[in-house]
Amino acid sequence: MSLAETLDPVTRPPAEPPSRPPLWKAWLISARPQTLTACAAPVVVGSALAAAGPGYRPELAVVALLAAGGIQIGTNFVNDAADAATGADDGERIGPPRAVAQGWLSARAVWIGAALSFGLALALGGVLIAACGWPLLVIGLSSIAAGYAYTAGPFPLAYLGLGDLFVVLFFGGVATLGTYYVHTGHAAWPVALAGLGLGLLATGILVANNLRDRLGDARANKRTLVVRFGERFGRWEYALCLVIPFAILPLPPLLSAGGWGWLLPLLILPWALSSARAVLQRRAPGDAGSGDYRVDGADLIPRLVEAARLQLVYSLLLGLGVVL
């Protein structure tokens, strides 16, 4: 599974294969539009930080948001096709049905969809490159390459346990700093720190997903950090990913750059602590046995949705705080 899958509404694996949806809906399922909040959050914060100064350009903020969405959807298509090929999306997985694995779309069609999505993102990036220079080309190409390499290629990041680092970098620092650079033409340490917080929150979504799917991932030889180091490690990783972003907010570089508005997201710290505590206190029996609700990870589904919502609200509050 990938970060993209964590926003999907999931219950338990159906007893029978789901019925074939209309073609348009199969494409929608593969594109996973509900995941777009994860890529929108750093664009929102990067634009808001730029709007606090003189360099804000609203038209470029819209282009950056659309380009980020194209990369996200392209990554989702790659994930759909690649995980079906490796068997990670088998009949025993807990997550929602996948278009290629179910035979609703051919792998070839979805690969073409990925190429078109990445191509659209690159075309939109051309507008940003023309306005801001060659650094945006580097950011765009590296983001597309990472989106492909997350679950495809000879060394797929998610299968090597590097998915967490990928999410921190690209859903955090790269996207936030890149958006800020679009407006201002330079980078800044406070923006990098804000991006780190957003990247950690996005990684929290991924960790909850990996905790849920650790048995299926192990069967598919998908060596996520949770598979490598165990559930206890994953619970603590989830908690730290949710709490550290709030510890970043009072740091002097942020307060000196944006004032007390940086602290507005602290309003939802109790929410983050509650979610972290729920996962830390989770009591699941050993991985032996079959079909146990606590073992198969379905009880973690509320944490997936909660972590995604937490990241979105955090980004909106941070953007509002620095602008006001």
Look at residue 285 in the predicted model and tell me its pLDDT: 47
d(CA 141, CA 197) in angstroms, rounded, equals 23
Helices 135-149, 107-132: axis angle to 10 degrees equals 160
**Cα–chain center distance at 181:** 21
Check if CATH label 3.90.550 holds for domain 3-323: no
pLDDT tens per residue, range 44-59:
999 999 987 777 888 9
Secondary structure percentages of the chain, helix, strand, coil, to 5: 75, 0, 25
Tokens coding 290: 């079959």
To the nearest 10°, report the CA torsion of 202, 208, 214, 220: -40
Look at residue 18 in the predicted model and tell me its pLDDT: 73
pLDDT tens per residue, range 11-29:
444 446 678 889 999 999 9
> pTM for the full model?
0.87
pLDDT tens per residue, range 264-294:
999 999 999 999 999 998 765 444 433 343 4
Tokens coding 270: 């109790």
